């Protein structure tokens, strides 16, 4: 058996400490060890983005990151982005604009979009399409996903202006 590593990981604000084989992939740590099943597995080759999480402030595809590489990291998944009583603007916007169908890509999609809007709070349609190109969807044809993200950006900017 491989040697196990001592891992510290913070997920959605909660600290976890455990022993794991270094080759364990982050997506399995989340889904099987921690029962955080929002992020999904679509390809295991970093292409589809169904497994997207935010790790130390960056969008990361959890299907191709070893837990050894994630040791000490701070991870946010879809479960940490909003709560039933306090949904993220994107979560509401995807519903409002029919930005999802089967729902399988949605957690990764919204997680990535939330990061995109932090990086670029006022994106053009082209910037949204480019910034979301690492997340694949087989159902929607992206048109309503793009619409959902642009609408969320407007709403977030309007709220920010109102607050200022």
Partner 1 sequence: MKDLTDDQKERSANLKGMGCSRKRVEDARFTQGKGNYVDDIKLPGMLHGDFVRSPYAHARIKSIDVSKAMALDGVVAVLTAADLAPLSLHWMPTLAGDKQMVLADGKVLFQGQEVAFVVAKNRFIAADAVELVEVDYEELPVIVDPFEALQSDVVLREDIADKKEGAHGPRKHHNHIFTWEVGQEAETNDVISNADVVATETVYYHRTHPCPLETCGSVASMDKVNGKLTVWGTFQAPHVVRTVASLLSGIEEHNIRVISPDIGGGFGNKVGVYPGYVCSIVASIVTGVPVKWIEDRMENLMSTSFARDYWMTGKIAATKEGKITGLHCHVTADHGAFDACADPTKFPAGFMNICTGSYDIPTAYLAVDGVYTNKAPGGVAYRCSFRVTEAVYFIERMIEVLAIELNMDAAELRRINFIKKEQFPYQSALGWEYDSGDYHTAWDKALKAVDYEGLRKEQADRIEAFKRGETRSLMGIGLSFFTEIVGAGPVKNCDILGMGMFDSCEIRIHPTGSAIARLGTISQGQGHATTFAQILASEIGLPADSITIEEGDTDTAPYGLGTYGSRSTPVAGAATAMAGRKIRAKAQMIAAYLLEVHDNDVEWDIDRFVVKGAPERFKTMKEIAYAAYNQAIPGVEPGLEAVSYYDPPNMTYPFGAYVCVMDIDVDTGVQTIRKFYALDDCGTRINPMIIEGQVHGGLTEALAVALGQEIAYDKMGNVKTGTFMDFFLPTAWEVPNYITDHTVTPSPHHPIGAKGVGESPHVGGVPCFSNAVNDAFRAFGLRHTHMPHDHWRIWQTANKLGLHG
Distance between CA 116 and CA 149 in Å, rounded? 9
Least Cβ distance, residue 106 to partner 1 (angstroms): 5
Which among 136, 142, 156, 14 has a CA at the least distance from the CA of 88?
Answer: 156
Least Cβ distance, residue 113 to partner 1 (angstroms): 11
Looking at the Cβ atoms of 85 and 164, the one nearer to partner 1 is 85
Looking at the Cβ atoms of 9 and 36, the one nearer to partner 1 is 36
Least Cβ distance, residue 127 to partner 1 (angstroms): 11
Looking at the Cβ atoms of 73 and 128, the one nearer to partner 1 is 128
DSSP 39-59: S--S-SSSSS-TTEEEETTEE
Least Cβ distance, residue 35 to partner 1 (angstroms): 7
Place of tokens 């040791």: 71
Enter the tokens of residue 36: 């955080």
Binding stretches for partner 1 (CB under 8 A): 1, 21, 23-24, 28, 31-32, 35-45, 47-48, 50, 77-79, 82-84, 87, 91, 94-96, 98, 100-107, 110, 128-130, 132-146
Looking at the Cβ atoms of 49 and 73, the one nearer to partner 1 is 49
Distance between CA 8 and CA 70 in Å, rounded? 9
In the chain, the N- to C-terminal Cα span, in Å, equals: 58
Enter the tokens of residue 24: 């364990």
């Amino acid at each position: 058996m491989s040697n196990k590593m001592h891992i510290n990981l913070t997920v959605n604000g909660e600290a976890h400490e455990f022993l794991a084989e270094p080759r364990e992939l982050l997506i399995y740590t989340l889904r099987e060890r921690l029962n955080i099943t929002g992020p999904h597995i679509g390809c295991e080759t970093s292409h589809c983005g169904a497994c997207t999480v935010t790790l130390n402030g960056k969008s990361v595809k959890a299907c191709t990151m070893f837990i050894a590489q994630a040791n000490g990291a701070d991870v946010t998944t879809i479960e940490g982005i909003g709560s039933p009583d306090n949904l993220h603007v994107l979560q509401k916007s995807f519903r409002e604009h029919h930005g999802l169908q089967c729902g399988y890509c949605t957690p990764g999609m919204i997680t990535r979009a939330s990061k995109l809007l932090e990086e670029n709070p006022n994106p053009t349609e082209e910037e949204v399409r480019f910034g979301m190109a690492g997340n694949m969807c087989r159902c929607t044809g992206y048109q309503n996903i793009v619409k959902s993200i642009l609408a969320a950006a407007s709403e977030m900017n309007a709220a920010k202006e109102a607050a200022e």
